[in-house]
Structure 1
Amino acid sequence: MSATPFGARLAAAVETRASQVVLGLDPDPRRVPGGAEGARAFCRRAIAAAGPACVAAKIQLATFERFGTAGWEAFERVATAAADAGLLVIADAKRGDVDVTSRAYAEAFLRPPIDALTINPSLGGDAVAPFIEAATAGGRGLFALVRTSNPGAAELQDLPLAGGGLWHEAVARKVAEWGAPSVDASGLSALGAVVGATVPERLAALRELMPHQPLLIPGVGAQGGRPEDLGPAFGGRAAGALVSASRSIIFAERPRRAAEELRAALWTAFEEGEGPVAG
């Protein structure tokens, strides 16, 4: 029996949870003492507190890899805890390399309890292909970096191209092309895109270029992105965009309340921005 496609799984999870909030888990040792075990315990508490208002958890690999072998074990345990709480699990690893290495990365990450992986598509289609093959075979998802939320992103990602348009727009077109074969009955592809909330003026154009891509949107909260600006990202689909928030939730005085407030704000942005379904 073939695996349920990621788009269908994502759409079902958003409908069931009535949430588009992704709980960002990136414990900072300056605020979370105790090494790998401290990070694990902190993340488990965050999942228990805020998880019911979220649809997914995005675990930043670097914050665990810094601890070596103990960090990898802690990551696995946090991922399992998130899955046990009913959350989709996104490994934020931003992997990408030549095809043979990409295949190894895919084998490492695209397996339970992980549901999706962030990837760097800058090496091109042959490097992305092994990720797509593994994801579609296992009902997993991918989120390719297209226009990130950090201030320095504009230095390269907004460069104009000789033929017109911007570099990140060319990446968006490729992501749509590569992801087209995996679009399922939900209208969503297994290959999504990372687009920052810090560039809301680009959301409508990127949604038009990627009508079937679920968007993973970081940058809300501590980085200054606003939920009310994100309506165009959904493309008429409740599961068309997932919004990741980390510090504004996990370090909040009341994490559940912070997550609930973001959930309500995002659902309002979706409903107010809802138009014809993209694509």
Structure 2
Amino acid sequence: MSFDSGRRSSFKKMIVGGATLGTLSSFDSKDNMPKALKGNVNHGVCHWCFRQYSLEDFCKEVKKIGIKGVDLIGPSGWETLKSHGLDSSMCNGAEISLTEGFGETKYHDQLVKNYTEMIPKVAEAGYKNLICFSGNRRGMDDETGLKNCQIGLEKIMPIAEKHGVMIQMELLNSKVNHKDYLCDKSAFGVELCKRLGSPNFKLLFDIYHMQIDEGDLIRNIKDYHEYFGHYHTAGNPGRNELGDDQEINYPAVMRAIVETGFDGYVSHEFIPKKEDKMASLAEGVQICDV
């Protein structure tokens, strides 16, 4: 998940459900309908990447592709998802921002309050996943950042466990999109998981971000898969379509994910460059449907 300027401006709208107007794609044509999916991957998608579509129209379109869930939707958007039979595959609305997170103790009181209120709402709505962020490093070394994250998260994990909600911290690159982000490597996130020792805390492994900051995607997925509860996709460089004009071998990466027995969501979070946005999304789903 990236918070470039586009996502920053869209994220507040996503928290309350989002509703930007857009026109329907030429993907409506029967000739452009995608092949049936194999059923090995639960495909989700992030609405913020397609903000030219209202949430209502977006749900109608992604259902045609075979997508099951929409990421980063807050409570006021949940009824729209439910009306279309779509899951809120990664809920949001409790975080402060990507830069202000559990890595700094000065934000803990507000974050604990936010998550204490949001976790029961997520559970009551029948959802399972709620995102969180480490925030920025601001001169902290890894050990200080880990201790601070642990202190803050330990205050909400009993509530998450009680309600059966998975708190998921996203791994973001600190090289290109999110300068100074603290949780920017798998090893940092995995160590935090181990210290917390909670079955209800995992990592959102963003394939695009981790390709930038650490590479070695398949090895890390195989070695650390038990700590990964959700995946995001995008092409690198550029975080656009997933085709052969970018460097990540998505079919191979997806096979590695499937081979671990993962049964959560792989959600597409790329910003399509092509005119037909839904055709780009359908193509991305097919590329990843191994």
Q: Which interval holds the TM-score relative to the shorter structure?
A: 0.5 to 0.7
Task: Provide the rounded CA distance (Å) in 2 between the counterparts of 1:174 and 1:212.
Answer: 13
Matches within 5 A, 1:202-217: 202-208=188-194, 209=196, 210-217=198-205
| Residues 170 and 262 of structure 1, relative CA distance in 2, 3 Å threshold | same
Q: 1:88 aligns with which of 62, 68, 92?
A: 68
Any unmatched runs of 5+ in structure 2? Answer: 7-20, 97-109, 173-183, 262-290
Distance in 2 of aligned mates of 1:220 and 1:49: 30
Q: What is the alpha-carbon distance in structure 1 between the residues aligned to residue 71 and residue 33 of structure 2?
A: 15
1:155 to 129, 138, 149: 138
Q: Distance in 2 between matches of 1:246 and 1:227?
A: 16
Choose from 151, 169, 178 the match for 1:194: 169
TM-superposed deviation, 1:82: 3.2
Instruction: Report the CA distance shift for 1:232/1:167 in structure 2 as closer, same or farther (over 3 A).
Output: farther
Instruction: Please give the TM-score of this superposition, normalised by the length of structure 2.
Output: 0.53
**Structure 2 equivalent of residue 276 of structure 1:** none
Distance 1:262 1:80, change over 3 A: farther
**Match for residue 77 of structure 1?**
57
Query: What residue identity is the alignment partner of 1:154?
Result: R
Cross-structure match for 2:95: 121
Counterpart position of 2:127: 140
- Structure 1 counterpart of 2:9: none
Q: Specify the code of the residue in structure 2 equivalent to 1:108.
A: G
Who is 1:229 aligned against?
220
Q: Corresponding residue for 1:68?
A: none
Amino acid in the other structure paired with 1:207? C
Once residues 143 and 169 of structure 2 are traced to their aligned partners in structure 1, the CA distance between those partners, rounded to angstroms, is 20
Partner of 1:247: 235
Displacement of 1:136 in angstroms is 1.2
| Alignment partner of 1:108 is 2:95 | no
Counterpart Cα distance in 1 of 2:33 and 2:211: 18
Q: SS at 2:133's partner residue?
A: strand
Structure 1 counterpart of 2:147: 166
What is the alpha-carbon distance in structure 2 between the residues aligned to residue 47 and residue 92 of structure 1? 26
Q: How many aligned positions are there?
A: 204
How many angstroms apart in 1 are the aligned matches of 2:223 and 2:126? 27
The alpha-carbon distance between structure 1 residues 215 and 223, as it changes in their structure 2 partners (threshold 3 A), is same
**Which digits, 9 at most, give the CA deviation of each residue in 1:106-158, with x for residues without a partner?**
1334642342323443432332244322221221133222347xxxx333886
Q: Contact 1:207/1:233 (CA < 8 Å) preserved in 2?
A: no
Query: What secondary structure does 1:87 align onto?
Result: coil
Mark the CA change 1:173 to 1:81 in structure 2 (over 3 Å): closer, same or farther.
farther
Q: Distance in 1 between matches of 2:241 and 2:56?
A: 19
Superposed CA RMSD in Å reads 4.4
Is 1:211–1:235's contact at 8 Å kept on the other side of the alignment? no
Residue 56 in structure 1 maps to residue 25 in structure 2: no
Q: Return the structure number with greater helix share.
A: 1
Q: Tell me which residue corresponds to 1:181.
A: 162
Q: How has the CA–CA distance of structure 1 residues 215 and 200 changed in structure 2, closer, same or farther, with 3 Å as cutoff?
A: closer
Aligned sequence identity (%): 8
Find the residue that maps to 1:253 and give its secondary structure: coil
Q: Secondary structure at the match of 1:115?
A: strand
Q: CA deviation at 1:182?
A: 2.1
Distance 1:88 1:158 in 2: 39
Q: Which amino acid aligns with 1:217?
A: F
